[in-house]
Structure 1
Amino acid sequence: DSFLDRAVNATEIATGINAALHGDTKYKWFID
C-alpha cells in the first residue's frame, strides 16, 4: 500500500461522494 495508491483511492471516494450529492445513481450507495 503506497502513498500514491491511497491518494488515488481517496480521490475516487471523494469523486463518488461528489457524484452522489449531485444525484448520480451509480454512486447512490455512498450516501444511502
Structure 2
Amino acid sequence: RNEEAKGRLKMTMLAFRRLVFIRVCIDCMNA
C-alpha cells in the first residue's frame, strides 16, 4: 500500500512539473 502511494505521488509530481514546463514555454512564446 505504501509503495502504491509513493508511485502515485511520483506520477502527480511529474504531471505537475510537466504542466509548469508547458506554461513557461507558452509564456516565453507570448513574450
Greater relative contact order (Cα < 8 A, sep 6+): 1
Q: Which runs of 4+ in 1 moved over 6 A?
A: none
Gaps of 5+ in 2: 27-31
Q: Which has the higher helix share?
A: 2
1:14 aligns with 2:13: no
Question: Which consecutive unaligned segments of at least 5 residues does structure 1 have?
Answer: 25-32
Number of matched residues? 24
- Give the RMSD, CA atoms, in angstroms: 1.9
For the pair shown, the structure with the greater C-alpha radius of gyration is 2
TM-score by length of 2: 0.70
Scaled by the length of structure 1, the TM-score of the pair is 0.68
